[in-house]
Amino acid sequence: MTANSESNPNIDHILIVRLGAMGDVIHTLPAAQVLREVFPNVAIDWLIEERWAELLCAPGTPRRGSRSAQRPLVDWVHAVDLRAWRKSLFTVSTLQHISKAWNDVRSVRYDVAVDLQGAIRSSVLAKFSGARIVWGSSEPRESPATVFYTRQTIARGSHVIEQNLSLVEAVAGRKINPPSAKLPRDAMVEERISRELAKQRIHKYAVLNPGAGWGAKRWPAERYGEVARELSSDGLCPIINYGPGEEALSEEVMRASGDTAKPMKLSISDLIALMRGAELFIGGDTGPMHLAAALRVPVVAIFGPTNPARNGPYGTRNIVLRNPASPTTHARRSQPDDGMLEISIDAVAEATRRLLTSAAEGSHA
């Protein structure tokens, strides 16, 4: 059985529901691209949290209309700001924003909605979109979500990307190898990042990401600084990527690096542009790591309590460092994982050299 706009003439509009977070949205891109390949003439839209919309659409670009390099994958980005709405739920402004967002979604009259998040709220939104058919996993992250699905399938595969692909393959009715990830390209942002690199006389560089969603996934900042020293001595400029609230963390890395590391506070679009030119990425289980992997940047991944078989770098050259003593858990503990603390500076530095050497050999093969 094949599924396309010819064999399924009643499918004109598909809605993907994956609200966040950064890494999870990136893990969903291959599945979205499979839908795009199988249904080339169908409008494919996406319901996403506002703060992650730059992963689908460059800032300043219309979020609806003909696809372009600035919005390469979906026809309409429906952005919701659930976090902000919860803080002022009953104000006139919030109610107006909710009404507009929901009217936009329901006005399309979706034929199919695909919940690739598996949470109660995402399944509710998929159902309330008005779609005739709502697909989801038979074993979602939150089991009550299945109440809102009209069709279910078993998610197969070890990695979350493979699980997402298996779900959309059920929608498509056949298996297809996903093409490379399509992320927005913004010429103005790329030019600004290029000018900044030239201004600081940075040519070859590695991106270090010391932050993480919670403390148990965070390798010590001073160790990133020591690795930065090693990278600098090997001729690579270490660039520290940090986000809101991570200024002190960045400063700690910079001090430990002997000021060899260059801190950069970047938007998502900035980070995409910077990452495209990176020789290497070093960091833990974070959105920026998954972005690096999606852009085929070699990755040294430092893992603690999360499972690299499910959440590790996918589709790129990589070395994953994880101590067998680390428990597999998503408990959001603030204290560093003891097993992760056993991963030494020398082990990370040696992994970077091995990976850079293999990448160089691969480019000359």
Instruction: Give pLDDT, residue 3.
Output: 42
Helix 160-172 and helix 22-38, axial crossing angle in degrees, nearest 10: 30
> How many domains are contained in the chain?
2
Report which of 170, 165, 169, 131 is spatially closest to residue 152, judged by C-alpha positions.
170
**CA gap 229, 226 in Å, rounded:** 5
206 and 129 assigned to the same domain: no
106 shares a domain with 49: yes
| In a shared domain, residues 32 and 128 | yes
Give the pLDDT confidence score for residue 207 in this predicted structure: 98
User: Could you write out the DSSP letters of every residue in 164-198?
Assistant: HHHHHHHHHTS------------HHHHHHHHHHHH
Q: Are residues 22 and 56 in the same domain?
A: yes
Tokens standing for residue 53? 């919309």
Q: Which of 172, 207, 227 is the last residue of a domain?
A: 172
Q: Are residue 113 and residue 221 in the same domain, yes or no?
A: no
Q: Residue 176 is encoded by which pair of tokens?
A: 């297809």
State whether 162 and 204 are in the same domain: no
Last residue of a domain, one of 113, 144, 172: 172
Contact partners, residue 183, CB within 8 Å, separation at least 6: 29, 55, 72, 272, 291, 294, 295
Q: What is the mean pLDDT of each run of 10 residues along the chain (365 residues)?
A: 47 97 97 95 97 97 97 97 85 89 96 98 97 97 97 96 96 86 95 97 97 94 98 97 93 97 96 98 97 98 97 97 94 91 98 90 59
Structure tokens at 299: 């990755």
Kindly state whether residue 136 falls inside one of the protein's structural domains: yes
Q: Domain range holding 223?
A: 187-363
**205 lies in a domain?**
yes
Q: Is 117 part of any domain?
A: yes
Start-end of H helices in 295-337: 308-311
Q: Which amino acid is at 176?
A: I
Looking at 148, 172, 196, which one is the last position of a domain? Answer: 172
pLDDT tens string 30-51: 999 999 999 999 999 999 999 9
Q: How far is CA 201 from CA 35, 87, 101, 219, 301, in A?
A: 42, 44, 45, 29, 27
Is residue 181 in some structural domain? Answer: no
Q: Are the CB atoms for 126 and 15 separated by under 8 Å?
A: yes
CATH assignment of the domain containing 350: 3.40.50.2000
User: Whole-angstrom Cα distance, residue 316 to residue 89?
Assistant: 42
Question: What is residue 92's predicted lDDT score, i.e. its pLDDT?
Answer: 85
Whether the Cβ atoms of residue 352 and residue 330 lie closer than 8 Å to each other: no
Q: Does a structural domain hold residue 4?
A: no
Does residue 264 share a domain with residue 156?
Answer: no
Is the bond into 21 cis (omega within 30 degrees of 0)?
A: yes
Q: Are residues 131 and 279 in the same domain?
A: no
Do 268 and 139 share a structural domain?
no
Q: Is residue 182 part of a domain?
A: no
What is d(CA 85, CA 51) in angstroms, rounded to the nearest whole number?
13
Q: State how far the Cα of 151 lies from the Cα of 133, in Å rounded to an integer.
A: 7
340: enclosing H helix or E strand: helix 338-341
Which pLDDT score, from 0 to 100, does residue 9 have? 53
pTM: 0.94
Cα 361 to Cα 365: distance, rounded to the nearest angstrom: 6
Answer yes or no: do 157 and 252 share one domain: no
Beta bridge partners of 282: 208, 300
Rounded CA-CA distance 59/265 in Å is 17
Task: Identify whether residues 166 and 20 lie together within a single domain.
Answer: yes
In a domain, 145, yes or no: yes
Q: How far apart are CA 89 and CA 98, in angstroms?
A: 9
Is 152 found in the same domain as 227? Answer: no
| Cα Rg of the chain (Å, integer) | 21
* pLDDT tens digits for range 233-273: 999 999 999 988 999 999 999 999 999 999 999 999 999 99
Q: Is residue 70 part of a domain?
A: yes
Contact 48, 79 (CB under 8 A): yes
